[in-house]
Amino acid sequence: MCAGVSKSRQIAFNILNGVFSNKAYSTLSLRYNEQMQQAPREDRALATEIVYGTIRNLIYIDHVLAGFIRKKVTDMGVLTILRMSTYQLLFLQGVPDYAICDEAVKLVSSRGKEAHKGFVNAVLRNIIRNKDKLQSETVAPGIAASMPELVFDAYRNAVEQMYKTGTRLLTSEEATTLAERAANSTTYAQEITLRANTLKQTTAEFEQSMEDLGIEYAIVPLMEGAYRIKKGGDIITLSRELPAGSFAVQDSSSMMPPLVLDPQPGDVVLDLCAAPGSKTMLMAQQMDNSGKIIACDIHDFRVKLIDDMAATQGVTIVETRCKDVSLEQVAEDGTADCILADVPCSGLGVIGRKPEIKYSVTQEEILANGQLQLQILERQWPCLKVGGTMVYSTCTCCHEENQDVIKAFLSKHPNFELVSIRSFSEMRSTVGKRASLTHRHKGMVQIMPGLYNADGFFVAKLRRTR
């Protein structure tokens, strides 16, 4: 650590500079950064808040900085310090402005950039003087939510198709309002959701383990053994303190595809694009670790992630295969009772947890994903038994990667039918007030980010009829 600079801000700077300079992944950087591993829990929490908060609000932060800087900042390190400090000044509660400014100047000095100290100090103090004005001004929805136009349009198109009154689709203004709500939900901290591994202990025993560590949680009513961490546990703490293999970090939306597929003990399940394996392990729990799951992924190192998770969680029914499932059929015809096709996508439903995604996605990538996804279905459907079910899912909201793919597949395969899915809020009777999430195309479900404190997800269920 650099003398005089707090651990949390030094860690945040190093990770953010890697994200901005080298396109590093914030989630992986935070989890495996050596300084993070060694830092106290309080410093890890603040570093995480600064990293995610800065990236989530980057467009708005740059909008603010543009009002106080006359020329382009060419030193990425200096720009990173300005960005993370602006986030703290405008969004972080409980930290004095002077302390944030002082830490920024120390960071500049620690990098040997003495000539920039006065510049950084002046910009940040100018922001401090204008905080009330900045926080009261109205900016365009895309800027307020730090959402590139392509992504915001995808959100708006999705809600236009999701919500309707009677037979009338939403007006453009109504759709924009709902899209803003979903977009804004991606700009603040996302709670960790996990599920107990009931192959190793009961949910009561797992709850007791969390309570013994002082971890505060709320029960997620989607399924038994799902929890939202409210206080006292980050990923590093949970991994260190809770018994190995006793849980898996998994958003509630991500649990939905296996729950919709509903594999039974003794079934043969084909899990396409399975890494890192959280859905695979959930299906093993549903199957009481009885039957067979053929879990595939395209790279050896990703297949190893599945093997490692299975070993840690005590799952013995998984057979991993390194395959490009878009090119090679991975099982004999009629082998599988069910197939989970959780396919590669643009990831626009999970930008609250992986915020850098929204700044790099392109329309060309979205269209290419749709073609790849359809190719995967075309290649693997013969593996399914007649009468078997296939669940298609993505963590995005783009119609080109979701309902367009399903419609294209069904148009070519009259031997498949769409099976209506109960909405997310109806998956378990213990969930409270119902909300209509059913897509206007029968049976498909689109979840927008922020609904139910969950990530965005798309799910469709198909049955082979002959």
pLDDT band at 344 (very low <50, low <70, confident <90, very high): very high
pLDDT band at 3 (very low <50, low <70, confident <90, very high): low
The pTM is what? 0.90
pLDDT band at 429 (very low <50, low <70, confident <90, very high): very low
Count CA within 13 A, CB hemisphere, residue 335. Answer: 17
pLDDT digits (tens, 9 = 90+) for 315-341: 999 999 999 999 999 999 999 999 999
Where in the chain are the domains? Answer: 7-136, 193-249, 252-464
| Res 288: pLDDT | 97
pLDDT digits (tens, 9 = 90+) for 13-49: 999 999 999 888 888 888 888 888 888 888 998 999 9
pLDDT surpassing 70 at residue 442: no
pLDDT digits (tens, 9 = 90+) for 203-222: 999 999 999 999 999 998 87
- For domain 193-249, give the fold: Alpha-Beta Plaits (3.30.70)
| Res 450: pLDDT | 80
Q: Which of 62-76, 199-213, 372-386, 447-461 has the lowest mean pLDDT?
A: 447-461
Tokens of 17: 């500079």
Asked if CATH classification 3.40.50.150 holds for the domain at 252-464, the reply, yes or no, is: yes
Q: Which of 59-68, 86-95, 235-244 has the lowest mean pLDDT?
A: 235-244
| Res 436: pLDDT | 40
pLDDT surpassing 90 at residue 82: yes
Say if CB 342 and CB 295 are below 8 A apart: no
pLDDT digits (tens, 9 = 90+) for 290-313: 999 999 999 999 999 999 999 999
pLDDT, mean over the chain: 89
pLDDT surpassing 90 at residue 69: yes
HEC-encoded secondary structure of the chain: CCCCCCHHHHHHHHHHHHHHHHCCCHHHHHHHCHHHHHCCHHHHHHHHHHHHHHHHCHHHHHHHHHCCCCCCCCCHHHHHHHHHHHHHHHHCCCCCHHHHHHHHHHHHHHCCCHHHHHHHHHHHHHHHHCHHHHHHCCCCHHHHCCCCHHHHHHHHHHHHHHCEECCEECCHHHHHHHHHHHHHHHHCCCCCEEEECCCCCCHHHHHHHHHHCCCEEEECCCCCCEEEEEECCCHHHHHHHCCCCCEEECCHHHHHHHHHHCCCCCCEEEEECCCCCHHHHHHHHHCCCCCEEEEEECCHHHHHHHHHHHHHHCCCCEEEEECCCCCCCCCCCCCEEEEEEECCCCCCCCCCCCHHHHHCCCHHHHHHHHHHHHHHHHHHHHHEEEEEEEEEEECCCCHHHCHHHHHHHHHHCCCEEEECCCCHHHCCCCCCCCCCCECCCCCCEEECCCHHHCCCEEEEEEEECC
Beta-bridged to residue 216, according to DSSP, are 231
Closest Cα to residue 84, out of 11, 8, 7, 16? Answer: 16
Tokens of 353: 């947890």
- For domain 7-136, give the fold: N-utilizing Substance Protein B Homolog; Chain A (1.10.940)
pLDDT surpassing 50 at residue 438: no
Cα separation, 112 vs 288, in Å, equals: 58
Tokens of 30: 């935070």
Region at 161 (left for phi over 0; alpha for psi -120 to 50; beta for the rest): alpha
Say if CB 287 and CB 317 are below 8 A apart: yes
| Res 164: pLDDT | 58
Same fold, 193-249 and 252-464: no
pLDDT surpassing 80 at residue 161: no
280/429: higher pLDDT: 280
pLDDT band at 163 (very low <50, low <70, confident <90, very high): low
Average pLDDT over residues 117-127: 95
Check if 383 is active-site.
no
pLDDT surpassing 80 at residue 253: yes
| Res 19: pLDDT | 92
Q: How many CB atoms lie within 10 A of CB 414?
A: 9
Q: Which of 101, 296, 395, 398 is catalytic?
A: 395
pLDDT band at 169 (very low <50, low <70, confident <90, very high): low
pLDDT surpassing 80 at residue 433: no
pLDDT band at 236 (very low <50, low <70, confident <90, very high): confident
